[in-house]
Amino acid sequence: LAGRPEAVFPGYRWLDLWRNEFRGLRARRDPACPACGRRDFPWLEGRRGVGAAEAVCGGGAVRVPAGERAPDLPALAERLAGTVADLELRSRLLRYRAGGLEVLLFADGHALVRGTEDPARARSILARTAGA
């Protein structure tokens, strides 16, 4: 801010106004660190976390988080009838097979796609069948 980068503290500052305490922690960049060394930020870039589709560990499936709107499962089941296999509608779940994958679409909008660990393939089958 002052145009004096050499005056910037190379670490973290902590200030507790209630106790009138001020501390600093110096930290060096570790080349092996995913964040500060390799500049890899999967959570910040949406590749991990709430908005990202992720393979379920050891499950041969991908979990796709809910979109902005919850699906109308009965209407979707009616639209998919005759175009997908093993279509089954329950009160909080729509299950069907398409493209060699099993899709479980839940009432809150999140989905579990079984038969792949590829998030792109899971999102693709959801887009083609459920419009998600």
Band (pLDDT 50/70/90 cuts) for residue 54 is: confident
Could you give the CA distance from residue 113 to residue 118 in angstroms, rounded to a whole number? Answer: 10
Band (pLDDT 50/70/90 cuts) for residue 59 is: confident
| Mean pLDDT across 52-71 | 81
Could you give the CA distance from residue 1 to residue 44 in angstroms, rounded to a whole number? Answer: 25
Q: Give residue limits of the domains in the chain.
A: 54-129
- Name the DSSP letter for residue 53: -
Could you give the CA distance from residue 69 to residue 25 in angstroms, rounded to a whole number? Answer: 44
Predicted structure pTM score:
0.61
Instruction: Kindly report the CATH class assigned to 54-129.
Output: alpha beta
| Mean pLDDT across 102-113 | 94
